[in-house]
Every structure is written in C-alpha cells, then in structure tokens.
Structure 1
Amino acid sequence: MLKKISLILLVFVAFSILIPISAQAANITITINGQNVVFEQKPVIKDDTTLVPMRAFFEVLGAKVNWEEKTKTVIAFRGETTVQLIIGHKIAKINGKSYELAVAPQIINGYTYVPLRFVGEALGDEVIYDNGHIVINSSNQRTTVNSITATKNMVGTSTLSTPNVTSEKDLYLLIKNALENNEDEITFTLSNSFYNSVKSSGTVNDILNSISDIVDLVLAHHPEIGYANKWTISVNGFNNVISKVSIKFKYIYPKDKLGKMEDEVNTKAKEIIDQIIKPDMSDIDKVKAIHDYIVKNTKYDYENLINNTIPPESYTAYGVLIKGVGVCQGYAAAFNLLAQLAGIDSLGVAGTGFNYSGSMPHAWNMIRIDGKISYVDVTWDDPVPDQGDNVRYDYFNVTEEQLAKDHSWDKEKFSEKYFDYK
C-alpha cells in the first residue's frame, strides 16, 4: 500500500487571472488585515470565482468608489491606483491598462458584485486562499513582501541569492536537496526555459500543477527521504507573470525527532551494507543480497493495514530497517537507501498492483545495472504471513514486460532519465 501524500496549494499576490477555489458561498470567511469581515450581502461563487458586494468591499479596503449609472461602470481609487469595472463586461482596467476577468461584475439580488481576487490584487494587496478562508493583507497596512524578505535574509550583503530554475531537472534537484536536509522552505525564480522543459502553457494553474507534480515525483522516486507529507506552493507575480515561487514543507515528525531517526537509520544501513556486501560481488549479487536481507528481516504490516491503523514509520526506511515492520513504501525506501550505499542505481516507483484481492496503490523499485533497466518488488517477494527466512524471487530483477502483467505505472514519470538527475 502506498502512502497518500497530501497537497495544499496556496497562491499569493497579484494575479489578474483568477485561480478557482472550491468552496460553498456559505462557508467563505474573509479576514482583512487580521480582522474578520462579515458583509451584509454574503459573498457568492460564480463559475469558481468568488464575488463580493462592490461598495462594501472597496470601502473596507480603504478605496473610494464612484458609480456611473448610465454606463454601469464602477470606478475605484486608492492612492495612485484607479480600477475600472463595467457590469457584464469581462474587460477591466487598472490605471488605464486592460485585463480580462474570468467572471464579469454583475448585479445579484439588486447589489453590484465584483471579483474579489482581481479587486484586491489590483489595489496591490496580498490575497491568500486556504480551503474557503480568504486572507487579505492590505498594502496600506503592510511593508511590501520584497522589503520584508530582504530585511530578514540580508547578512552582510546587498543582494539576495535566489536560485533560478531553468529546467525540470533544476527544480527536481532543488526539491530533493531540501528534503534530504529537512528544510522548511525553498524559494526560487523560474526562467522561460523551465516552461518548455515541463511542457507547460505558462498559465498560473499549469505552472502550479507542474511544480506540485515534481514534488510528488521526487517523493515517489526517493521514498527514503519521504518524511514530508504536506507541502504548500505559493507564487508572487502580476498579470499571469510569475516573479517568485516558494514551497513550504511539513514533516510527519518534529525536526529534532526526525533528525535522530535519520541518523539511526543511516547508521543501521551502513552496518547492513558492511555485513552483506562483499568486495567480489557483482552488481546483481549486491541487489540480491539487499533484497534477501529486507525479506528475511522485515514483517509486512498486514494487521495494521487491515485495521487501517498503519503508523507513519511503516511507510519509511526507518520502519523497515529499525523496527523490522513496514508496508510497500517502506520496503521501497529501505531498498533504495541500501542500494545507493552499495553503488546501485535505484529509484522508487509508485503505481498500482493487481492481485487476488483486487487493485491497490503500490510501490516498488526500478534498478539500472550495466545500462539495463529491470525491476524489484521486495514487498511481493515477502510472504504474508511472515515466514522468516523464506524468500521468493517472483519479482526479483524482472523486465518491464514481466512486471506489467500485474503492475501498472506511468512509464514517463518513472523513466530511465531520472537515474541521471544527480
């Protein structure tokens, strides 16, 4: 069984192309500059866009509003910014420049409603969506994001070092390094070549999906570092042009405990390699030794699987190598860790397994020996219930064609090229 990874997408700051949210109007809450705001006329959802009562919303943001009845035009002013919207029209203007809206301003129950996100960001405010809760930080009340970042991070220098991601491989390695070091957050910029490398259209939604897919891919390829179970992606930009991206990671254990667990499992892994790997072994003999050690020393966590009570460590190399108990993701993680220490190219594979009980999410390993790709499914070579030293080889060093008889996976996401992402 493969652990399900949770994903949260938070999108910040200044996009005139609206990002859809899925929330019912009755559940929407709005916080502006730290204060909960309740409008007499409730916000509504129209085609996945949040609309709010025009005059009340502009006024709470500190903007002055003019209404031209004849042309059905809303004109709002705050500082040096002028925003113009016309009822029923998807073209709005900010300081005379035109932008296309996902949903036009409209009259609902006799009140004028405008798109919340566009209005907030047009005035230079930060707008954050989080599962039906909307947070707005007014530029009238805060220092700019760039100023806060610069003050926090500048140490004896006048410039900030933010990595520029030029390709899928760049981002993949940046994420992998962050997870290996249990970093809480990474921030980077995207070059135009990145969009081509991930075959993205360049829209905000498309880029967010591409980035989150790469996080997911790193965790699938490298389950031995898979201690992050949630992540948040945020982007800064304007008019669909991204200027900066941040990814925040949340781990399944507190950082101090996680560090001790990793030290323990790494020490154990090195001891195992010293014990089972001999200098005269071929690469395939090394793979067999690792495969056999895991099967002989691990019990599949079947009871917890049946009771839906699988503890987090069963999904990790720690569970398999220290506790001696795990599920498929833990087996794949332990195999990856030991294989890498033995000098064997190995990647985790996430997909679906099919057996007598039906189909279920599953994980196994892809290896490369002498330039040839084959697969090892240690989990399915370990009998259940546990039979001690009894080892099967039905799924040891099998070809893609052989494995595909009862395994299904995305061949593009788990292709040979990722062995060279180092």
Structure 2
Amino acid sequence: MARWKKYLMFLLIFILFIVPANFFTGSLLFKSSNSHGLSNDYYIVENGRPMILIRNICSMIGAGIEWNKDTKEILCTKGIVEIKMALKSETVYVNGVAKSLDAAIQVKGGKALVPLSFPWKDMNIGVSWNAKKKSLTVTKGPIVFFGDSLTQGFGLKKYFTSGNLINKGVSANTTKDALKRVNDVIGNKPDKVFIMLGTNDIWTLREEEDIMDNYNEIINKIRSACPYVEIIVQSVLPMGKNALARNPDVSNKGIESLNTRIKDMVKVCSLKYVDIGILLKDKNGNMSDKYTKDGVHINSSAYDLWAKKIKDMVQ
C-alpha cells in the first residue's frame, strides 16, 4: 500500500476514535494533538497556559471579527455585543466598558491570540481549559425556535444534528400571546432564536400596526436580556385556498404587506430575515395544495423545504 494511503487510513481512524462525538454538536471539545496539529487550529500552549486563536473561535461560534488597519484594533461582535481590543494590550472594551485580561493579546504567524480570561461570557460562550488532559472545551447556548403551531409541528431533531435545540412553538399563539411568554425564550440564554409569528394575528384580523408593535417589543425584550443572541426572523407563510375560503376577510396580499413590514424591521434592527413562504407558493401566490390540507398547517414536504432553507444556520 502506498505511503499516502496508509496515512489517509490512519487519519480516518484518528477522526473516528480520537475526536469526541460532541465535536459535531453544540458542545465542542478540542483535544490537543501534536502529530496532527488539531490544537493549533484553536489554541497554542505557552508556559502551561492556553492562548486562543480568536478568529478561529469566532468563526466557530458565529461571531463576527474585523481588523481595523488604521487603528490597529480588532472588533469582535456577537448580537449587539461589541468587544474591541488592541494588540499587546491587557485591556478589552465590551460595549465601551473596560475589562482586564490576565495576559496581553499576542500575534503569532499573523494570527491574534487571546488568553482564557477573555470575556467569553459576554458572548454567552463558555471556554475552559483542562491542564491535566490538555483539552479546551467550548460551549454555547441552545438554539430556540419561537412561534405558533407551525413551529410547534417542526420536528427539529429529525432535520438537524445539533443536540441543543428547543422548540417553543405554541398552537394558536398570536404575537401578543408570544410577547406574554417571551421569558420562556430568555430563560434559556439562547445562542440563536428563530422566530415565525403572525399567522394567527392575520387570521383574527389584528391590525398590522399592533402586530409590528408586538414584534418590536419581543425583539427588544430578547435583545435586552440576551444582547449576544442572533435573531433570525422568518416570513409569515401564505395561506392556501381552503383557508381563504373559510375566512374571506383574510388575503395573501395582507400577509405580503405584513412581511414587507417585518423585513423593514429586520433591516433597521440588523437582524436576519429568511423567506420561507416563497418556497411554498403556487403560481397564484397561495400556499400550494401539495403542502397543506387546511390551507394553514403544513405537511412533511413543506417542513423538508423549510429545514433545507435554514440548515446552514442551525449550528
């Protein structure tokens, strides 16, 4: 067997038996390995203490990171949390508030390294070092899905490999109902929140202005309590002809108008917007019969499309 084939086989065995199973889930454990350099992707050890490659960790946890060549500063962002730092400094600024580190920020090989005392908790991230095992553990909060019966019926574990998913969908909920129980979301200290609300508001003919007031208050409450959270707002789904026949005061034009308002809110608040409804429409702009029986609730084929659309975000 050629040398490269032997090496490839050894590498596959290493991945299967050395890298822990939770490497691929919401709780990430990275073990040091001099022979394969796995540790060098995330940290190096100096004088018995880890120094962590900030860009790689930020990429892993979904945080933004930028280098300002003019001020020679690094800006790390997660949600509305901004952490500003300068090279060779032992002080970082979290939304303008100074916090001290136990070692200065370093640069090696063109990459910035920060000590374990970096304010990870401000981004709702747990980072710990086991000196005996020489292993770094990184944990983050759960991903919460918040909505009505459409969300409640979403079998998350069927579609996503992340083991830290919470479904907070409740049948018949309006935005007003969801606002009353938003603490159910906040109490989980989520890393991400996916929101889909508005169908029952439309069905009960609630004024668009009231819906948007509730939406804004939901967003503000989540952000105020969890400034590190990433919020993904999903479109209100169109209704099928069966639902429109039962409630002639409802129209998909009204849903389109609400979605336009929601998109405007998302832009102003610097959130993410995902149009799920466009995946389910027929040529007339109604929800296609192949995705629904009653014109409101969706079947497994629709959930398949929904899951595929957001799959890369659920990690």
TM bin, normalised by shorter chain, reads 0.3 to 0.5
Q: Which has the larger radius of gyration?
A: 1
- Using structure 2 for the length normalisation, give the TM-score: 0.33
- Using structure 1 for the length normalisation, give the TM-score: 0.25
